[in-house]
Amino acid sequence: MEEEQQIIGRGTWIDKLADELLQREKILGRKTDLIRVESGLGASGIPHIGSLGDAVRAYGVKMALENFGFKSELIAYSDDLDGLRKIPEGLPETLKEHIGKPVSFIPDPFGCHDSYGLHMSSILLDGLDKLGIKYKFQRGVDTYRNGLLKDQIHTILTNSKKIGEKIAEMVGQEKYQEALPYFPVCANCGKLYTAISYEYLTDEKKIKYRCADTTIGSKPLKGCGHDGIADITKDLGKLPWKVEFAARWSAFDIRFEAYGKDIMDSVKVNDWVAEEILNFPAPTHVKYEMFLDKGGKKISKSLGNVLTSQAWLRYGTPKTILLLLYKRITGAREVGIDDIPALMDEYNELENIYFGKIKLDNETKVVRSKGLYEYVNLLNPPKTQTPYVNYRLLIQLCRIFRENRIHLVTKKLLEYGTIKESSPEIEELISLAGNYADDYDTPTKVEVNLDDVSKQTLAHLVNILSSDTEPTDLQNTIYQIAKDKGMQPKDLFKLLYQIILASDRGPKIGPLIIDIGRKKIASSISEYL
């Protein structure tokens, strides 16, 4: 007999991770009166669902730690002293003159914030606010300006030779064997990456640099030739990623930070710098795969294939984003707006399990499903179930009723017996589904298993639905077709619900098909044959 799997906390990967963190802290013997978790927010391009995911997952660990009885805090660190490396797709070419400058000192091309960096940070923070994520916002520019990393910078620069050799050994990058791992902001041209540091005056805590030509990625970037001296305690400058994370972890006492697969090398080096140079145990980590667009490409700020939380929330609830991010952390996933209908219905299924309307045989799965539901509700689940209607049914109805939509769709749902009364929650669902219906013509195709009998039955139904003659009683006609073809009518109804609504059930099938349009449904069924 198999041993039952041990359930930790609420049974999710979040609880398991928080438990691993606590066990490690116990071994390290560190104080746990406040456990800080961190998320790094890039401010060089338009933030997307993946950028948001970093902070949301860190917040999940914060919630789990609090659930275990520990005080915790999420630091949302905006890397807004980072330099602009290239112009993200879709942004104005006028930004070209600012390549290499810190994003906090570049004017906002949209004209609504003090800087480009603040504009980009605000989009991400707006997304977090809409999801109900609580955080302490820490700007990179303030961190350096206020000298919060000055001790770590000093220690890193006094050990720069050792660090340069280790970076070359660990990841094969040799540039820090020549240059020091610190970029002052050039006092003459304001660029960051062209200011190459070559000598550290330890006693004075000053660094000598020359603003010289360099390359960013594979593109050349011109320096202004200025020779300067920067005081690391007063003048603005920035550590490169290969050592900056370690400095932040040490300065802010960070105990957990997730990271994307794309910065794995940087994290490996930073772990070593934290432990061997700064004498600070590196945080507990979890590595996650990147989100891909529907073409299988990495969602990227610079490629311009971003999917923002603002775009998502036009069609789906905040709960669907949280479900997407909390259901699992491993594996690369293609994600797009067309995932919203399935996630809307999946959240409703979780709610049905939580409130006991759907019974599961596997007790572990029940605990995990309920735990996931609680995390998606930020550990403050509702006391009663929220009114819900199948999202694809709403999309279909919203395609029929373009004018006076909320009233007419609600009236139809009452006719079907799908709802007993109107409510603000149902009206909000109709608005979201209406936006989807207006912006996306093609319904999402779902996978349906068809045997030969099902195919023959559906093919016969397609002929009748495509005919110019309307059946007197479509409900009874469908029932009779199933009987004639040797198929259980309930099985045919279920198949039709799966094709039309991606669900096993729905309102009476005959009236539904007539409302959507016989020929339209015939066309949808034909795609499966």
Q: Which residues are annotated as part of the binding site for ATP?
A: 301
Residue keyed to tokens 């608005």? 431
Query: Which residues have C-beta within 8 Å of that of residue 140, sequence separation ≥ 6?
Result: 43, 77, 78, 79, 80, 81, 82, 104, 238
At 506, the amino acid letter reads: G
Q: Which residue has the tokens 């071994």?
A: 27
| Coil, strand or helix at 284 | strand
DSSP for 56-94 reads HHHHHHHHHHHHTT--EEEEEEEETTSBP-SPPTTS-GG
Binding-site residue positions? 301
The secondary structure of residue 192, as a DSSP letter, is: S
Q: How far apart are CA 190 and CA 188, in angstroms?
A: 6
Residue 90 tokens, joined: 């879709």
Question: C-alpha angle 173/174/178, rounded to 5°?
Answer: 145
Tokens encoding 361: 């045989």
Which amino acid would we find at residue 309? S
| 142 class by beta-carbon count within 10 Å (0-12 exposed, 13-18 middle, 19+ buried) | middle
Q: How far apart are CA 28 and CA 133, in angstroms?
A: 29
Phi and psi based region of residue 6 (left: phi greater than 0; alpha: psi -120 to 50; beta: remaining)? beta
Q: Which amino acid is at 155?
A: T
C-alpha 505/C-alpha 491 separation (Å) is 11
In the DSSP assignment, the letter for residue 175 is: G
Cα 354 to Cα 367: distance, rounded to the nearest angstrom: 9
Beta strand pairing call for 237-238 and 333-334: unpaired
**C-beta contacts of 328-331 below 8 A and 24+ residues apart:** 328/13, 329/13, 329/57, 329/258, 329/286, 329/288, 330/288, 330/289, 331/289
Is the separation of the CB atoms in 176 and 201 below 8 Å? Answer: no
